[in-house]
Each structure stands twice: as structure tokens, then as C-alpha cells.
Amino acid sequence: MKNGWKEITIGKLVGERAGNLDPSSYPDETFNYYSIPAYQEAGEPVEEVGKNIRSQKQIVEFGTVLFGKLNPRVEKVWIVDSRSSLRKIASTEWISVPVRLELANPRFIYYLFWSDQVMLLAKALVAGSTPSRQRVDPKSFFEIPVSLPPLPEQKKIAAVLLKIQRAIETQGKIIQSLRELKKSTMQHLFTHGLHGEKTKMTEIGEIPESWEVRPLGEMGRIGNGSTPKRTHLGYWDNGSVPWLTSGKIHEVVIEEPDQFVTAKAVEECHLPTVQKGGLLIAITGQGKTLGNAAIVTFDSTMSQHLAYVQPENPSIHPPYVQQYLTTCYQDLRRIGFGGGSTKGALTCADLRQYRIPLPQTIEEQIEIAQCLETFDTKAILHESKKSALQDVFKTTLNRLMTGEIRVGNLDIDVGEVET
């Protein structure tokens, strides 16, 4: 055992519970409600009146740590840290741990539950026939053994991890701000252009007076890809021709392939090729994929879930069109789900007729595209920083929780993690 640390089960950390209540018995009272949807959507409890909340809920106090027992493959840990004067309740889909403060620091326990020491074991303690119905068995969860350092060291560990977490959150806020700023800039540019000229109303909305509305089909040849049979090894083994799936569309600028097919597949399956600088559009998908567009920076073929636009008109700048199409995401999805279809799909005919606004000169198209690409470049930079910090957090978390890194003798401000 590490110096000063002790082995203890999670169950020994559990203090006095505040009990349960039926919120509908307090129809006009507003609660701070810690539900699974609230966690997944915003990571903040929602304020909800009792008459709108069904069934029994757990009463939770400040500092209680919540571990998601439903579908543990999707990791969920939450700490009740709202300072609101409202009563706080939590869904019964959480295992609640009101921490015994004489033994542990709640913020430390929150991070401990995220560590491999707890999370990996908890995922194995499930009951249920299918992944979506699986739940962590609370009794077995409370029997998980953990290593607990002295309280002062717990607080220092929590403070270190909180600082990294705050840095991750800062990068996330910067990325969100860039997205919002780009959105407002796009709205202005596609309505007023670069030169502050008068505007006119068209079938797609307000645009600069000198611009035209033209169908996407004028940009070039439009078609869709295909997927060779996976069981035909001659189509896949030692392939050298880039082949793209719809998942790549989220990269916006696709710089490298992740799959390859053979020349035989291209020939026998009549796979189309989009050349470097071409446009790809996701034409199927019930998630977030349908309606997204990207530029490809190398010659490639693609699956049937992607359409391509091969530029053939030198007066139309593909990156400009791609940037404009990002503002049309919801409209393209509406078309794809038109006619009451539950399985969304755009057709090449839909895309050929789709109307886009075009400045008279390609120079203005290029300038607008470059302006908007600046936001993308900055967002990619901060996404990279965020990803690197997340890697640091994960590594540091597990090394601190196993005592591989010791911080007990370091001078660390623990004010933020004090209860």
C-alpha cells in the first residue's frame, strides 16, 4: 500500500442519504433536476416544477456524486455542485453517493469514478439483455475496492485535475464562440456581400443586387458513389484507390483517406472518381451526417452515401460553394426527409436543382471563402488543443489515482475543491 493510502470499498464512502420524494406531490415547487437527458444535453441540471416530473426521485445534496447506471458503455459521472437554494433531486438512473466528508473529498471521488480504477470495473458489473438495457448493479458497485489517499492529498489531486478540466472547458468555449462568430459572419456575407451594395429579394432570400441565383448543377457534373461487395476480396485486398465513407464528411476539408479499394473494384463496380478540389455531400443518414458538405483534396471514389460535384465551371469556386452549403444544412435535411420519409435521402436530382447565390466575380467568391476558412483554421487549432488536453487529463487522472504521481508535498491551492 502506498504511504498513507488505504483500501476501502465505495460503499464505505457513502454517507447519510436524504431520501426520496415524488415531485408531483409538490406540483408548484421548482426543483433542480439532475436527469440523464439534462446531463447529456448541457451538463447542467434543469429547473422544473414538480407537476412536470413523473415518478419517485432521489433527494440529493451539494457534493453528492452521481454515477450513471444505465447503459454504462456511455460513461456518465456527475457531481451535484449547484449552489441554488432550490431542492435538488436526481433520476433513479443514477447511483448516488453522498460522500462522507471525514473520509473523502467529493470532487476527488468524482474524478475517482472517472478513473480506470472504477469505470472499467463498473462496466463489467451489469445486468440486462442488450447494451441499451444494461444497468450497473448498485450492490456490486458499492463493493468495488478503491485506493484512498489522505484527505489533504485528495484535495490536491482534485485541484490538479480541476485545473486541467477548466482548461479543456476554455478551449470548448473558444470553439463555440468561433462557430457562433462564423455563423453571423456567413449570414452577413451571403446577404450583403463584401462591398456593402444594395440587396434584392430572391427565391432563396435576400442577396446583394449584383449576385445571381443559379442551380448547383451549373457548377459541374453531379453523381453518387457505390460500395463494392465486402465479401469480394479482390475489391478490397491490397487496394490503392482512395474510397471515402460518409463519416469523412465531418472533416470539412478531407485531406487523407481511411479506406482503399482496388482498380478492379473501380472498373467492375463502375465507381466514379471525384478529382482533387471536388465537392462531396452526404445524401443519407438519420443522425447528423445527411446534408453536410466537404472538399476533397485528392482524387478519390466514394460510397453510395455520398454524392460528388466535379467542378467544370471555372467561374464557380468550389470552397465558396462548400461554405455556402454549410448554411443550408437544415434545408438539405428537410428536402431529404421530404414526403414523410423516415429514412432521409437526397437525390442527385435534388442537388442539381438546388439554388445557390453567386457573386458575379470569382475573385469575390474566393475572398469570401478565405474569410470563412479563417474561422475553420482557428477552430481546428483549438480542437487540437482541446484533444491534447483531454489526453493529458486521462493520463494524469489514472497516474494520480494509482499514486504513480504524488502531489501530497506540493503547494497547490485547493480552494476550488473545498466543500
Instruction: State which of 312, 340, 358 marks the end of a domain.
Output: 358
Could you tell me if residue 29 is inside a domain? Answer: yes
pLDDT band at 129 (very low <50, low <70, confident <90, very high): low
Domain range for 219 is 212-358
What number is the average pLDDT over the span 175-194? Answer: 95
More confident residue, 133 or 200: 200
Span 75-95, pLDDT tens digits? 999 999 998 999 999 999 999
Q: What are residue 97's phi and psi, to 5 degrees?
A: -125, 95
Could you tell me if residue 290 is inside a domain? Answer: yes
Percent of the chain with pLDDT over 70: 97
Specify whether 349 is located in the same domain as 277: yes
What number is the average pLDDT over the span 291-303? Answer: 96
Which pLDDT score, from 0 to 100, does residue 339 have? 54
Span 368-399, pLDDT tens digits? 999 999 999 999 999 999 999 999 999 999 99
Could you tell me if residue 168 is inside a domain? Answer: no
pLDDT band at 338 (very low <50, low <70, confident <90, very high): confident
Cβ(333)–Cβ(341) below 8 Å: no
User: For all residues of the chain together, what is the average pLDDT?
Assistant: 93
Specify whether 354 is located in the same domain as 222: yes
Specify whether 24 is located in the same domain as 98: yes
Listed in order, strand segments (DSSP E) in 129-267 are: 135-136, 145-148, 199-202, 205-208, 212-215, 220-224, 241-244, 253-254, 259-261
Specify whether 137 is located in the same domain as 223: no
Could you tell me if residue 196 is inside a domain? Answer: no
Of the chain, the end-to-end C-alpha distance in Å amounts to 28
Could you tell me if residue 88 is inside a domain? Answer: yes
Specify whether 114 is located in the same domain as 249: no
Please determine, for residue 311, whether its predicted confidence score (pLDDT) is greater than 70: yes
Please determine, for residue 4, whether its predicted confidence score (pLDDT) is greater than 90: no
Which pLDDT score, from 0 to 100, does residue 343 have? 61
Specify whether 245 is located in the same domain as 342: yes
Specify whether 225 is located in the same domain as 352: yes
Query: CB 398: neighbour CB atoms within 10 A?
Result: 16
Specify whether 251 is located in the same domain as 127: no
Span 205-264, pLDDT tens digits? 999 999 999 999 999 999 999 999 999 999 999 999 999 999 999 999 999 998 999 999
Specify whether 259 is located in the same domain as 124: no
Residue 53, domain CATH:
3.90.220.20
Cβ(102)–Cβ(57) below 8 Å: no
pLDDT band at 125 (very low <50, low <70, confident <90, very high): confident
Could you tell me if residue 240 is inside a domain? Answer: yes
Listed in sequence order, the DSSP H helices in 14-105 are 36-41
Q: Give the chain's largest Cα–Cα span.
A: 76
Specify whether 17 is located in the same domain as 124: yes
Which pLDDT score, from 0 to 100, does residue 342 have? 52
Q: What are residue 53's phi and psi, to 5 degrees?
A: -110, 125
Instruction: State which of 314, 332, 358 marks the end of a domain.
Output: 358
Query: Can you give the pTM of this predicted structure?
Result: 0.84
Could you tell me if residue 191 is inside a domain? Answer: no
Domain count, the chain: 2
Which pLDDT score, from 0 to 100, does residue 130 have? 65
Which pLDDT score, from 0 to 100, does residue 366 have? 97
More confident residue, 132 or 189: 189
Please determine, for residue 108, whether its predicted confidence score (pLDDT) is greater than 60: yes
Specify whether 237 is located in the same domain as 331: yes
Could you tell me if residue 330 is inside a domain? Answer: yes
